[in-house]
Amino acid sequence: MQLDNKLMSMHEAVSRYVHDGDVIVIEGFTHLICFAAAHEIIRQQRRDLTVCRLTPDLIYDQLIGAGCVRRLVFSWAGNPGAGPLYALRRAVEQGIPNPIELEEYSHFGMVARLTAGASRLPFYPLRNYMGSDLPRVNPRIKTITCPFTGEELAAVPALNPDTAIVHAQRADKNGNAQIWGLLGVQKEAAFAAKHTIVVAEEIVPEKTIRDDPNRTLIPGLIVDAVVNEPFGCHPSYAQGFYDRDNNFYVQWREISADVRRFNEYLEEWVFGMADRAEYVSHAGDSLARLRAGTHLCEPVNYGY
Amino acid sequence: MQLDNKLMSMHEAVSRYVHDGDVIVIEGFTHLICFAAAHEIIRQQRRDLTVCRLTPDLIYDQLIGAGCVRRLVFSWAGNPGAGPLYALRRAVEQGIPNPIELEEYSHFGMVARLTAGASRLPFYPLRNYMGSDLPRVNPRIKTITCPFTGEELAAVPALNPDTAIVHAQRADKNGNAQIWGLLGVQKEAAFAAKHTIVVAEEIVPEKTIRDDPNRTLIPGLIVDAVVNEPFGCHPSYAQGFYDRDNNFYVQWREISADVRRFNEYLEEWVFGMADRAEYVSHAGDSLARLRAGTHLCEPVNYGY
Amino acid sequence: MATDKRDFTANELMVCEAARQLRDGEVVFVGIGLPNLACNLARRLNAPGLVLVYESGAVGAEPKRLPISIGDPSLVTDSLSVCSMFDVFSYYLQGDLIDVGFLQGSQIDRFGNLNTTVIGNYQEPKVRLPGSGGACEIAILAKRVFVIAPQTKRSFPERVDFITSPGFVDGNEARRKLGMPGAGPSMVITNLGCYEFEDGEMMLTSLHPNCTLEEVRENTGWNVRISPHLTTTKAPTIEELTILREELDTSHLFI
Amino acid sequence: MATDKRDFTANELMVCEAARQLRDGEVVFVGIGLPNLACNLARRLNAPGLVLVYESGAVGAEPKRLPISIGDPSLVTDSLSVCSMFDVFSYYLQGDLIDVGFLQGSQIDRFGNLNTTVIGNYQEPKVRLPGSGGACEIAILAKRVFVIAPQTKRSFPERVDFITSPGFVDGNEARRKLGMPGAGPSMVITNLGCYEFEDGEMMLTSLHPNCTLEEVRENTGWNVRISPHLTTTKAPTIEELTILREELDTSHLFI
């Protein structure tokens, strides 16, 4: 485990752990999608990334439209409830700003790939894909025969990204991170990656973590960098902190459909901002309106 | 999902869901081992069971010595910190009270078998057993070749017990069960089984479960019977409720080493008791001394 | 209390009909939009013990607002359980726990195969669609599959351009031969009628009120089978419509 | 502040020597008893950033009492993380995160193979031992393995009766040929001396104070290699002994 100080700015975390050509995962299923990290990657103008996510969502639409991406590995590429991802479409259909390659699975396939990666298994077996055309267009979906029953199952290869970026509600300075609400594949992504950046709404004392150890999803011993970034997921959300900005997801349809408006968005909200703190103050009241109400759980007893 | 009332006595749960010849798992790694269930199985004189656990522990030593068991599937058979399990030894070495068969894995192998079972996969791959003599004596440990890298890995077959019995700190009447502290393979065992009995220290209103949904380890939809059994794990423990009775584990060495004393124990503490409630009052102050202190965690906010 | 006045939308009818097909105590893999409305309607009427599982990991959700996305925070608060997506796909879906999976599709064909990947050729598509998400595994693993889809000649071709989520592939025996655990699509509900499958092929079993066989034929890309016992779909009741409009989707986002 | 008075037990020396071999920041897979004491001693002295992982799922434990069992509740309270055993074995151990695994054994042989299964024949054993537990996978997967074991001629045979947990199997190349991820046993600490491995074979590298080569030879089942650079094991310091006796194992349960 790395022993020196892991607490750093997003600028420093991205410049240390995201390099041109890297395989990157920024996970979070609807919940805890770290837009702050993507914006910093765009600001640092990383190129030729292979970006992997179950749902590319707006976050990868932005990375693709900003020219950071060479290859997309995914399972569902839409703007949830609000249409297509137009920057992705432009890249695929017209090579704007650059052509990208697609590598396509289903959700279960992506979950299985990250689980294999986290387990340092070379593949993961699943009962899937028979009768589907997906294996026909993706030669990395193969089959394997059970040595006990003779059944043929599907197999997908491990996914071990160079760096995973996972957002958490809270973490201590060593990266022990606690998450509640939807868990997605945050744990699997962090364990699968060679390097992990934990971004947290709050940096808390180690005692807060130790008070409820079953809540820890990601242990500090696999974490390389810890970034404190309040509102770091907007327009995604953080349960107990702020709601999803559903209006922005709808607006994105118009923004991303038009290259000019897309670039204006990047100019104003990404390149025009030094960091997430500036984004938050630039957004002002529109973020404050999203702040979560209070719905506390009851404590449990860890005594013996 | 079963819709009629699942709340019942241990007597009823065992008579419905544990039959002669069944494959049974009562899990819990040191923590949450449901002795109340084993005692009821002994009282109902079930026979020819195949019993599976990572650590047979005192609980299966008692089942074996009481003549309930035909086959033991396990990975570590000792009295933790206090020597061998003598009833198990007598059965293996002298066929007392009856001979039993052994099927032996390592912990990882047992975890993998239950994970495959829970996933309805026929096998689970793991990077293990090369160079060990275990596969030589257990033909159910096989190998499989990765279709991507060509590596040879170990494979173990799924374990799908007829019935799993898992203890939880609390559950609602539909069997939604919350566990904290050590989790062992409780979740995997419950999902792998055809039937699941949840035993809980406390039956709580559904609202208590819904207040902290991330704490739910076992959903009611896979649960057939719910039994309320305070102190149901003694001499094992339940975090936040009572401590492990380490003295009893040490005493067991002497009790189990001697058939006469073993049988006296069964007479007094199992056959002599109508149910767990009677056991608890029979034990009296010795249990009260184990009651847990208070070490509450902080609540988290589920608001949005 | 049925109404035969045309005071309901096609979406409302589709939601009501889907809701009626759900049985009490079943475990349903739910999507956002019409499937979510159908399940929540069923929970208030014919299937109060229905358990809703969302692919995002929320189990037994009781959302206090209409969820906009599959990962809406209202699906978490006050749910019975939240688990990882590994658990959802491995233990719930592959674990044979899902009685009914809901699917939607840009294209559905004669054999119930669904396409949400591409219109046209995969390498150079006319339209690139979002892809599988969880649909492929739901189609293969859920015990029964309900499809809700608007029907046009283009969306109901004889063969889909790409099988994202297999139905009966090319006929009745394919699923068994391919070793698919689930029974496949059992019902397709469109804006025109309801379909079931016979020998793996789609068959119209009921026509919606005020819809005609001609409309069905005009909007189907093959010579569709008609059930000899063809009925008229029951119109939404006032009770169903009231719950839908005044409790479940008050701002008419989906209906 | 070393002491050369014989005022320490063999167990105390073994614990102190094991603790010294741990490096700050390493992640250790710990067992109950002497390994637990060694790790907690190292955390107080040479390796404050050592991370303890117990097979029961407790990570970063700071037990307020001496844990009696691998699943003691004191390992949970105030730990950094508690995870399932699937996570421990798949993500931590198989996931290459464990720098040092501790093993004990009823028998250890010339090539560092450990037996905790049977003495004698597997089908009709002279003594049935508890079996592998997590030992087999620790031996195969941990980056380095430390063995703490009392040494007698019977417990140090040339070949173990049963390889529960492979060391170098039958020589230096076996691990690589068999595709084992970990480097195998790197140190064996007994009541007589410390051993390392050269070409996959055990070699005495230091003799404990007041122990002799004759004792070692009498208590080893083969003609054991002696390092040309044989040293004397450093005796426990007063500081080490004070922490062990007055903080870690106050009732002398293991020392």
Instruction: Report, as an integer, the average pLDDT of A145-164.
Output: 98
Instruction: Report, as an integer, the average pLDDT of B290-303.
Output: 96
Nearest chain D residue (CA) to A210: D78
Q: Cβ of A81 and C32 within 8 Å?
A: yes
Q: Cβ of D81 and A216 within 8 Å?
A: yes
Nearest chain B residue (CA) to A217: B214
| pLDDT at D6 exceeding the cut of 80 | no
- Looking at chain D, the number of H-run helices and the number of E-run strands are 7, 14
CB contacts < 8 Å between A and B, how many?
149
Tokens (6 digits) for B120: 């309805």
How many angstroms away from the CA of B182 is the closest CA of chain A? 8
- Name the residue among A210, A219, A222 with its Cβ closest to that of D78: A210
Confidence of residue B4 (pLDDT cuts 50, 70, 90): confident
Neighbours of chain A (3+ CB pairs under 8 A): B, C, D
What pLDDT is attached to residue C75? Answer: 95
| C97 CB within 8 Å of a chain A CB | no
Q: Cβ of B125 and A121 within 8 Å?
A: yes
What pLDDT is attached to residue B203? Answer: 98
Nearest chain A residue (CA) to D89: A119
Nearest chain D residue (CA) to A172: D80
| pLDDT at D2 exceeding the cut of 90 | no
Tell me how far CA of residue C118 lies from CA of B104, C114, C123, C158, C168, in angstroms: 50, 11, 9, 16, 20
Interface of C with A in 232-251 (CB under 8 A): none
Instruction: Give the catalytic positions of C in this structure.
Output: 55
Instruction: Report, as an integer, the average pLDDT of A177-206.
Output: 98
| pLDDT at B124 exceeding the cut of 50 | yes
- Name the residue among C24, C77, C91 with its Cβ closest to that of B191: C91
- Name the residue among D80, D90, D97 with its Cβ closest to that of A216: D80
Residues of B in contact with A125 (CB under 8 A): 121, 123, 125
What pLDDT is attached to residue A3? Answer: 67
| pLDDT at A4 exceeding the cut of 90 | no
Angle ∠(A122,A128,A134) on CA atoms, nearest 5: 90
Length of chain A: 304
| pLDDT at D209 exceeding the cut of 90 | yes
How many angstroms away from the CA of D78 is the closest CA of chain A? 4
What pLDDT is attached to residue C118? Answer: 94
What pLDDT is attached to residue A213? Answer: 98
- Of D124 and D86, which is predicted with more confidence? D86
Q: Cβ of A148 and B142 within 8 Å?
A: yes
Q: Cβ of A131 and C72 within 8 Å?
A: no
CB contacts < 8 Å between A and C, how many?
161
Residues of A in contact with B299 (CB under 8 A): 296-299
How many angstroms away from the CA of D27 is the closest CA of chain A? 7
Nearest chain D residue (CA) to A216: D81
Q: Residue A45, CB half-sphere, CA atoms under 13 Å: how many?
A: 1
Q: Which of B29-33, B211-215, D32-36, D145-149 has the lowest mean pLDDT?
A: D32-36
ipTM over 0.90: yes
Mutate to test the interface with B, among C81, C82, C100 (most CBs of B within 10 A): C81
Q: Compute the distance between CA of residue B223 and CA of residue B220 in angstroms, rounded to an integer.
A: 5
- Burial class of residue A148 in the structure, from the number of CB atoms within 10 Å of its CB (0-12 exposed, 13-18 middle, 19+ buried): middle
What pLDDT is attached to residue A18? Answer: 98
Q: Which of D12, D17, D55, D240 is catalytic?
A: D55
Q: Which amino acid is at D87?
A: D
CB contact at 8 A, A154 and C136: no
Tokens (6 digits) for D62: 């700071």
Q: How far is CA B260 from the centre of its chain?
A: 26
| pLDDT at A180 exceeding the cut of 50 | yes
Neighbours of chain B (3+ CB pairs under 8 A): A, C, D
How many angstroms away from the CA of B209 is the closest CA of chain A? 9
Neighbours of chain C (3+ CB pairs under 8 A): A, B
**Of residues B287, B157, B164, the one with CA closest to residue B234:** B287
Residues of D in contact with A221 (CB under 8 A): 27, 51, 59-60, 97
**Of residues B263, B276, B266, B196, the one with CA closest to residue B234:** B276
**Of residues D46, D69, D43, the one with CA closest to residue D58:** D69
Q: Compute the distance between CA of residue B304 and CA of residue A30 in angstroms, rounded to an integer.
A: 14
Per-residue pLDDT tens listing for chain C (255 residues): 334 445 899 999 999 999 999 999 999 999 888 999 999 999 999 999 999 999 999 999 989 998 888 899 999 999 999 999 999 999 999 999 999 999 988 899 999 999 999 999 999 889 889 999 999 999 999 999 999 999 999 999 999 999 999 999 998 899 999 999 999 999 999 999 999 999 999 999 999 999 999 999 999 999 999 999 999 999 999 999 999 999 999 988 888
Instruction: Report, as an integer, the average pLDDT of A143-171.
Output: 98
Q: Cβ of B3 and C91 within 8 Å?
A: no
Residue C65: count other Cβ atoms within 10 Å of its Cβ: 12
Length of chain D: 255
Mutate to test the interface with A, among C34, C128, C132 (most CBs of A within 10 A): C132
**Which residue is associated with the tokens 């699942």?**
B6
CB contacts < 8 Å between A and D, how many?
72
How many angstroms away from the CA of A290 is the closest CA of chain B? 8
Instruction: Confirm whether D137 is a catalytic residue.
Output: no
- Name the residue among B1, B211, B216 with its Cβ closest to that of C25: B1
| D179 CB within 8 Å of a chain B CB | yes
Residue B209: count other Cβ atoms within 10 Å of its Cβ: 25
**Of residues A141, A142, A217, A146, the one with CA closest to residue A176:** A217
Instruction: Report, as an integer, the average pLDDT of A25-46.
Output: 98
- Name the residue among B191, B214, B304 with its Cβ closest to that of C82: B214
Q: Cβ of D73 and B239 within 8 Å?
A: yes
Tell me how far CA of residue A50 lies from CA of A75, A232, B277, C205, D202, in angstroms: 14, 22, 61, 48, 47
Residues of D in contact with A214 (CB under 8 A): 82
| D91 CB within 8 Å of a chain B CB | no
What pLDDT is attached to residue B3? Answer: 66
Mutate to test the interface with D, among B127, B246, B251 (most CBs of D within 10 A): B127
Q: Compute the distance between CA of residue A219 and CA of residue C211 in angstroms, rounded to an integer.
A: 59
Residues of C in contact with A74 (CB under 8 A): 131
Tell me how far CA of residue D89 lies from CA of B299, C86, D98, D182, in angstroms: 30, 16, 10, 14
CB contact at 8 A, D225 and D202: yes
Residues of C in contact with B120 (CB under 8 A): 94-96, 181
How many angstroms away from the CA of C82 is the closest CA of chain B? 5
- Name the residue among C79, C82, C95 with its Cβ closest to that of B118: C95
Instruction: Report, as an integer, the average pLDDT of D195-210.
Output: 96
- Name the residue among C62, C74, C97 with its Cβ closest to that of B221: C97
Nearest chain B residue (CA) to D89: B108
